[in-house]
Structure 1
């Protein structure tokens, strides 16, 4: 959503998110102000500079993508955003050495481009020398910025891969890298507070960057912990085996009184002759006026089994969880054939991850 395909490199789709147009506008404005001299418009150089900036970001991401491919990982797309780019992988990186190589190659591409632009400036004169020198500086800054040790920047991933390798544990490596990111974010916020007294704009930007860095570090740890833990768990390990079932013949008013009042369960499997036929929750009641509850049965109001995602005890919990999120289910039944053997609820997933975190970190 909000992105369009603008081409492909080595079979990898390149997508441009609409937010990148903001960066393009800022780039055009900055270049034009810089190269408008003696009444001569700097717009042509501004457009060329913005195009080359786009190419620099694309090549940075292509570096990530090609290295990932070389290491046997599948690359689905490259998307350019306001804050840069993102290389989307279909596979998880399972070795710290692989993550180190994939993360580091992007900034190295920018270093190479900075050298090329510097050579261009060396052999140019006048405004063209300034133009190529500016591109060299921009690519150098992109390399330095991306190597800052905070997620989701490449430097944060490089740091995590090092801690991961030293600890031989992804979770510990992620925790330690996230702590460094939080320290960096807190440091930026402290500097921003001090800078507010001399320059309100600079201080505000540093405060914002520090806050975003801090939040990103926490988010990275939570997301990595979730994916790492659930990818190694089966549905049968997470589900609860203690649950109540509902008859399809029960009317909604009786269902509300007997199952929902004073209960914390989000949903219930509807069972007939020991066979799952659907699920019902409090959300289903909202489709009817309260006066209709006496005349509407659970079987009429429920979500039928055919419309529910099918979960088995041997399924990957990671896949099951993202199915729940994607289709907005707070609870799903787990079946063995047509029989319900358990229920996976959002709170079961949270409790499982918290328990695993206490053991592993």
Structure 2
């Protein structure tokens, strides 16, 4: 039987570049080599694509704080609109053999926001994860929260600001109280996020967030347990058992997620009642559907003392590192890491085949 050729795209032009490298390393190590032929496509911080043809594709791979991409001499280009051989090696200008499906493990802008999804769709290549719309609305916290609010899903109160708009500490304090969280609207992995308690911290945090995005959200602080739930599927998604984040610091920071293994305790599965588990799973599935997601996502919520569930955000390309929640939650729910990768690839091919049946002309 011919192996399915899987292009794994990783790295990316994003502040989450290093997280992507860690995720890709774990996927590449775990994927079923008997079933899949892996083609490695590394994207550097300037956005250039490289065909990686050796095993030494990462430097400092065991150190999350200094991990980096080893570039090759083989720059890649992609030709939209072709039915086959869409990737071109610019070192000799020869076309690569067909790639059957792409697994984009690009976190953040230019990877999780619909950008790469649009390019792959134009190039007629199936891809793992959410489509263009689900990716873009899931990435933009402002748009995401408004869609959830309009669907009667509880969220934290928030204010959004564009870079051209004026913002005032007293206005924010009056509406949201203190403390608040300040976040770039289109970024994940806790990059650029600050917890603010006073006026001095507020203006400093706004400046930091605007370094990463032209839109920033200011969000009320919610007191509750930090619970995460993994979702898998296309038209008939399923949800995992929930897990709980128990941060050792003030909040679940970038360092806690990806660098400092003692930065947080992951309670997997979370210690919850059966009623709480079902409510969180149901809320996660509703959130997934409202935001037009496909393939996979991780839904993050707060569970308040009175039982209310507040949706914090959704991640359409969740982390796949060895300390990441998404695969760990599926493992305790009965789907092992290697099987999870297989299911995600099959879901991508299934969706692509369904879309091919749609009419494109009268």
Q: TM class by shorter-chain length?
A: under 0.3
Q: What's the TM-score once normalised by structure 1's chain length?
A: 0.22
Query: Higher strand fraction: Structure 1 or Structure 2?
Result: 2
Structure having the higher Rg:
1
Query: Higher helix fraction: Structure 1 or Structure 2?
Result: 1
Q: What's the TM-score once normalised by structure 2's chain length?
A: 0.22
